[in-house]
Structure 1
Amino acid sequence: MMRILLFLATNLAVLLVASITLRLLGVESYLSDQGINFQSLLIFCFIFGMAGSMVSLFLSKWMAKRGTGTVVIETPSNATEKWLVDTVAELARDAGIKTPEVGIFPAQQSNAFATGWNKDDALVAVSAGLLNRMRPEEVRAVLAHEIGHVANGDMVTLALIQGVVNTFVMFFARVVAHLVDQFLRARSDDGAGLGFMGYFAVVIVAEIVFGIVASAIVAWFSRFREYRADASGAKLAGSGAMINALARLKAETELPDQMPDTLRAMAITKGQTRSLMEKLFASHPPLDDRIRALKEAAYRE
């Protein structure tokens, strides 16, 4: 129920922000009797495409806390929590960023994530399972990986890329629908085209097709991000510790993935990908590839 409410709240916020922005810009309908106005269409798609990503980005911490049940450590209540807060503060200082909020979420799978709309207002959280089963140096490496995400500005960059691909998916889907409509009008004796419902049916189908391609592009960047965060983690916590932490995560890939879909790209692992399609759309590279990349980088040094 909470995920449904969060989804509805996010989409209502997107519609509100986009509608107000379009009105302020004076953008009228992109369809008229004269045809399609590409400038208005592009503005329309850009506003709605970016609005969804930006609203999600600004709400990311709030949604993450509620979606995972993360409890932020305001005042450490035991030695483990104090060590966790102190370690994040040390890593953040070494990375040159403001110390993020630190939290623990109740999942038995070893996992962690970072989120937040900018590097000085972030959240780093680890699962209870990770704290229970990993050695301190491995937990520190996982935290360093997440701090790497924050320091690299990955949350903002991913939101911008998602917004851009959303824009072009919407734009080209409507161009395709317009071309189909014009083609049918030219072939019809009475000049009838798709009609209102037909037009939007074509838009939906085209958005699905273009959306699949766009998802592959976003997933490719997400996988690139993971290699970069692993390198940052190795720099902050040591290559050996980072490799051992990933090896420990690999041993748990058969456990059910308890991370919400909206946070999976920001988690340290997504589980094991097997098929070619899974690899193409996976937000994370295979753990074997990540371990191999770290070993090769350490060897070059």
Structure 2
Amino acid sequence: MLYWIFLFQLMLAIITLGRVGLVISLFVLVGLVFLYRVSLKLKLPKNRFSKLTWEDMPWLYDGIARMANRAGIPMPTIYIEDSPVPTAYSFKNSIVLTAGLFEVLNEEEILAVAAHEIGHIKNGDTLIFPLSKYGQYGMGILTIAIIALGESPMARILSLFNLIAYYFYLHRFLRKREFRADNVALRIAEVPYALKNALEELKYYETILRSNDIPLPTIQPQLERKKEERFYITTLVSTHPSYDERIARIMAIVDMYRIYELN
């Protein structure tokens, strides 16, 4: 749906603005391709990120290797970020775990969090997410051009409606991808219920931070992280379901697996 909305906005700009709309549309498309290619070539600064080897943490390296094999993907590159904030994310075929994660979670829970990131890689989210998020900027440029240069009131209304629809569907799309990554994690994790435990621990940690008004970037999905902590340009809408939503869904799926095994 996102891509159809974006395509409709491109066509609306061309029809409404003629040659000017065509030039702007081509500029937007070239810009999106450029940003997308740049995002795939981003390199992590060595002063904050260290590449994990088997000698560093055999249990973590072997655990991720086994889960990647179950997911049917190549062994991901593992990085440890020197950050006290417990979080994890992925890009290309790489997983980043922060140092703070090891202070909050046990080994099983860390592997479950890594399994979620493997799920993102398995589902192609590390390629889809940047393009979908950058699309919002293209939509913004096209909307501004149609409203500022277009003469048709109907075209202006349609362009604004399309922009709102894009943000709405982007919100839904990214949330669904998080649930899909959880589904993969539950299939490949050696202790599936550990993902639920990890989310509960992270939620508790965050509650403490918020209650003490500590000015640190947070792992809570609804709150924006600091600019230096973001790997891709952030979207203006929440991209994650709440902890409670994910925990309830994980419990339901694990219970369903147990009932199936008993039968």
Question: What is the TM-score with the length of structure 1 in the denominator?
Answer: 0.63
Task: Could you tell me which runs of 5 or more consecutive residues in structure 2 were left unpaired when the two chains were aligned.
Answer: 1-12, 154-158, 210-215, 219-224, 258-263
| Aligned equivalent of 1:72 | 51
Offset, 1:47: 1.6
Offset, 1:143: 0.8
Q: How many Å separate the matches in 1 of 2:173 and 2:217?
A: 22
Q: Is the 8 A contact 2:143 2:163 kept in 1?
A: no
Question: What is the TM-score with the length of structure 2 in the denominator?
Answer: 0.71
Cα distance, 1:292–1:236 mapped onto 2, change above 3 Å = same
Give the share of equivalent positions with the same residue, in percent: 25
Task: Could you tell me which runs of 5 or more consecutive residues in structure 1 were left unpaired when the two chains were aligned.
Answer: 1-29, 117-121, 184-206, 267-279
Q: Report the 3-state secondary structure (helix = DSSP H, G, I; strand = E; otherwise coil) of the residue aligned with 2:150.
A: helix
Corresponding residue to 1:161 among 116, 132, 143: 132
Q: Deviations over 1:251-297 (max 9, x none)?
A: 1123332655476588xxxxxxxxxxxxx821211100110111122
The alignment status of 1:46 with 2:6, answered yes or no, reads: no
The alignment status of 1:89 with 2:49, answered yes or no, reads: no
Q: Is the 8 A contact 2:104 2:202 kept in 1?
A: no
Q: Deviations over 1:192-232 (max 9, x none)?
A: xxxxxxxxxxxxxxx99987765554333222221111111
The alignment status of 1:234 with 2:234, answered yes or no, reads: no
The alignment status of 1:243 with 2:196, answered yes or no, reads: yes
| Aligned equivalent of 1:145 | 116
Q: How many Å separate the matches in 1 of 2:48 and 2:162?
A: 34
Q: Report the 3-state secondary structure (helix = DSSP H, G, I; strand = E; otherwise coil) of the residue aligned with 1:252.
A: helix
Higher RCO structure (Cα 8 Å, ≥6 apart):
2
Q: Is the 8 A contact 1:139 1:245 kept in 2?
A: yes
Cα distance, 1:94–1:240 mapped onto 2, change above 3 Å = same
Q: How many Å separate the matches in 2 of 1:284 and 1:233?
A: 16
Q: How many Å separate the matches in 1 of 2:162 and 2:38?
A: 21
After the TM superposition, which residues 134-283 of structure 1 pair with which residues of structure 2 at under 5 Å, given as runs? Answer: 134-179=105-150, 214-237=166-189, 238-254=191-207, 255=209, 256-257=216-217, 260-261=226-227, 264=230, 281-283=237-239
Q: How many Å separate the matches in 2 of 1:67 and 1:170?
A: 35
Q: Is the 8 A contact 2:143 2:160 kept in 1?
A: no
Q: Deviations over 1:140-186 (max 9, x none)?
A: 10110111111111011112323444333322321221125x89xxx
Cα distance, 1:168–1:108 mapped onto 2, change above 3 Å = closer
Q: Is the 8 A contact 1:105 1:125 kept in 2?
A: yes
Give the alignment's Cα RMSD to 1 decimal: 3.4
Q: Report the 3-state secondary structure (helix = DSSP H, G, I; strand = E; otherwise coil) of the residue aligned with 1:97.
A: coil
After the TM superposition, which residues 3-82 of structure 1 pair with which residues of structure 2 at under 5 Å, given as runs? Answer: 36-37=18-19, 38-52=21-35, 54-60=36-42, 62=43, 65-66=44-45, 69-73=48-52, 75-78=53-56, 81-82=57-58
| Aligned equivalent of 1:287 | 243
Q: How many residues align?
A: 222
Q: How many Å separate the matches in 2 of 1:155 and 1:44?
A: 24
